[in-house]
């Protein structure tokens, strides 16, 4: 089955950037009669239902009008949720300043997400910075 994700992602990112949101995750789901673009979005103040409505109203018409996407395109917009599993390294930069628990083979660290790059993430716990190499991370999730 052909993936339309690159084009859908291009459209979604254009709208989100204009509105001041970050894309956390995007996926596509093919139904019998429709094509669903499912996105998870974030901004530093958090995501409320009004944000999801605003994003849907700005994005869905652009997706539906693009001739390279299926005729019956739908959009699902969601927030990351309070206990979101961090699934890829780029999410650490999106959620910088949020509390998270990061587990490695040797230890588990709960603290505030600091700076991150393609190699490691800094976690701050009680004023102490701990650098955790990304390849050593077994699981990571947001906590409140």
Q: Where are the domains of the chain?
A: 5-78, 90-142
Mean pLDDT on 16-36: 95
Task: Please tell me the distance from the alpha carbon of residue 32 to that of residue 137, in angstroms, as a whole number.
Answer: 38
Above 90 in pLDDT, residue 10? yes
pLDDT for 144 equals 75
Residue 50 burial (10 A CB sphere; 0-12, 13-18, 19+): exposed
Mean pLDDT on 120-143: 93
SS3 102: strand
Residue 62 burial (10 A CB sphere; 0-12, 13-18, 19+): middle
Mean pLDDT on 99-123: 93
**What 8-state DSSP symbol labels residue 44?**
T
Pick the CATH number of 90-142 from 3.40.50.1580, 3.40.1390.10, 2.30.30.100, 2.120.10.30: 2.30.30.100
Above 90 in pLDDT, residue 45? no
pLDDT for 22 equals 94
Pick the CATH number of 5-78 from 3.30.300.70, 3.40.190.10, 1.10.1380.10, 3.30.70.100: 3.30.300.70
pLDDT for 141 equals 93
Above 90 in pLDDT, residue 19? yes
pTM: 0.79
- 26 pairs with which residues across the strands? 39
Percent of the chain exceeding pLDDT 90 equals: 81
pLDDT for 89 equals 82
């Amino acid at each position: 089955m052909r993936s339309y994700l690159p084009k859908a992602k291009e459209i979604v990112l254009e709208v989100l950037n204009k509105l001041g949101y970050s894309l956390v995750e995007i996926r596509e789901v093919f139904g019998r009669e429709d094509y669903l673009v499912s996105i998870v979005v974030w901004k530093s103040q958090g995501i409320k239902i009004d944000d999801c409505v605003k994003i849907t109203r700005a994005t869905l018409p652009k997706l539906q009008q693009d001739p390279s996407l299926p005729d019956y395109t739908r959009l699902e917009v969601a927030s990351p949720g309070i206990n979101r599993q961090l699934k890829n390294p780029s999410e650490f930069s999106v959620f910088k300043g949020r509390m998270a628990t990061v587990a490695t083979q040797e230890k588990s660290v709960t603290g505030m997400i600091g700076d991150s790059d393609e190699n490691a993430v800094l976690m701050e716990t009680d004023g102490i910075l701990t650098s955790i190499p990304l390849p050593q991370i077994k699981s990571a999730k947001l906590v409140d």
